[in-house]
Structure 1
Amino acid sequence: MAKQLVVRLRADGTVDAESIGMHGSECLDHIEALEALLDAETVSSSFTDDYTSASTSETTSLDAEQSDGAP
């Protein structure tokens, strides 16, 4: 399976991201890059039961509002 980072931008300015086909903490590198691109930080995250297996996926919510509070 190809590695994917599925990103959803919500109307309230938050971003949901889910990594697919990544192993272990590999997904965290991609979330870190997404945070840098969006000038955002993770406010909550959860790992599936398969986190340590070959079919690991992760869901992370990011606060994508700009630092000045603009939507």
Structure 2
Amino acid sequence: MLKLSRQYLNWIQNSVFEGEITEVKLKELKQRAKNMMEPEEDSLIIFKSRDVKWLEKETVGKEKNELDTFL
């Protein structure tokens, strides 16, 4: 997953990546990640920023934390 994520985003630390990505590239990344993941074990969490003050959280795969809000 590290090698895959580095193809699309900038590595920050451990399993954290950031960067700007087009909707097409994001869809491609999610599909390729799904193909590599164990759906009952792994997850990919995507934070979309629409505004500096707000983040939208999307989880692909198993949700490990049921909270909808975070700090």
The structure carrying a bigger helix percent of its residues is: 2
Global fold match (TM > 0.5): no
The structure carrying a bigger strand percent of its residues is: 1
- TM-score normalised by structure 1 residue count: 0.36
Higher RCO (C-alpha 8 Å, min separation 6): 1
- TM-score normalised by structure 2 residue count: 0.36
